[in-house]
Amino acid sequence: MKLDYKILWLDDKIQDFIDDEYIDEIELHLKKEEFKPIIHKTNDQLEFFDYLKNNTYDLILTDFHLNEKKQNTDSKGREINGDDIVELVRQENKIFTEILFYTAKAELEGKLKWDRVSFLETEQFGKAKHHEKVIEKIINLIDLTIEKFHDIVVMRGMIMHETSDLDSQKIELLNNFIQSEKYLDKIPQLRTRLFTEISNFLKEKTTKINKCITTENLDKLISDTVLFSADKKISAMSEILQMLGQTDFSDDYKKEIIKVRNDFAHVVLDEEKDENGKVIRKIFKDKKDDITFDTNYCKNIRSNINKHKNNLDKLEQKLNE
């Protein structure tokens, strides 16, 4: 999972969910959790499988009864229902995404049970409550998948992926700035800052390495993590922002992006347990602080990544004016 939360939704009456703004409700819920919602909606079974071939999803939704539209048939013209869909998804396509089947009828008892497949019958709530109960279940499943996302290994992968994308975007912005004739008079100022910083950085590292060699201090040498690219890139962005009279977000970026990435790469995750051995708190063991690793912490990370993506997008727009 990345910051995009992708849902594939098959229902021969999908327009009803759209018209009643239930899909808007799901999108709003995902945005509150700091995800970008991407919902592919279709009332056609063939289009459903075309989507599956070309995308990966965090959640798949479908009405269990799809025979009101004749396009929901297999190659031989036979009606396709929930059992057929899940078998095609799981066995033939080898896709193990969380799936929800829902129906306004009470006909799910005895259906095949598959791993990570949920079933919802809404008959007992009446037709008027069908959509409402489906959306309630969908949001519960979304929260379940998000909670699984709050794992140290998964979060580390997401952070490394997203910060790598941010680094690439900074390089593109820097190249656009350097190659633009509009900013030719500002290039010397940027060049002076970067060359000075890099020169000082190399002198500092050379001095430290020479000292380690002289004192034969191997421990000190191997403990020095040389972080070059991220710091220098955001320094360049800082200079450009100041030149253009824009808000300099570089200090926030260092604290909210670079530091968090480094924390995930190097600090140790520990657990606090009660007398019964139940985990009551997950924490990052840092040299200075213990940071609670929980849902709010993960949500805040996503929020900061989205914020700085937006900051870089605004800078890109400014450069392209």
Domains and CATH numbers, the chain: 4-149 (3.40.50.2300), 152-319 (no CATH)
Cβ 27 vs Cβ 79: under 8 Å: no
pLDDT of residue 197: 87
Q: What is the pLDDT of residues 114-164, one digit of tens each?
A: 556 777 877 666 666 888 888 999 999 999 888 887 777 678 788 888 888
The answer to whether the predicted template modeling score (pTM) of the entire model surpasses 0.85 is no
pLDDT of residue 271: 76
What's the mean pLDDT when you consider all of the chain? Answer: 81
Q: Which amino acid is at 167?
A: D
What is the rounded average pLDDT of the residues 254-264?
Answer: 87
Q: Between 61 and 82, name the one with better pLDDT.
A: 61
> Among 56, 59, 97, 30, which residue's Cα sits nearest to residue 306?
30
pLDDT band, very low/low/confident/very high, at 60 (cuts 50, 70, 90): very high
* Cα gap 114→98, rounded to integer Å: 10
Give percent of the chain above pLDDT 70: 79
Beta strand segments in the chain, E: 4-10, 36-42, 59-63, 98-103, 117-121, 268-273, 279-285, 290-292
pLDDT(185) > 80: yes
Pairing of strands 36-42, 4-10: parallel
**Which range has highest mean pLDDT (205-209, 235-239, 253-257, 278-282)?**
253-257
Percent helix / strand / coil, the chain, rounded to 5 = 60, 15, 25
pLDDT of residue 218: 57
Cβ 286 vs Cβ 269: under 8 Å: no
pLDDT(222) > 80: no
The position carrying tokens 């941010």 is: 166
Q: Out of 48-52, 103-107, 213-217, 231-235, which region has the weakest mean confidence (pLDDT)?
A: 103-107
pLDDT(227) > 50: no
Q: Which two tokens stand for residue 96?
A: 């193990």
pLDDT(286) > 70: no
Distance linking the first and last C-alpha atoms of the chain: 34
Cβ 196 vs Cβ 219: under 8 Å: no
pLDDT of residue 228: 44
State whether the Cα torsion 109-111-116-117 is positive or negative.
negative
Give percent of the chain above pLDDT 90: 28
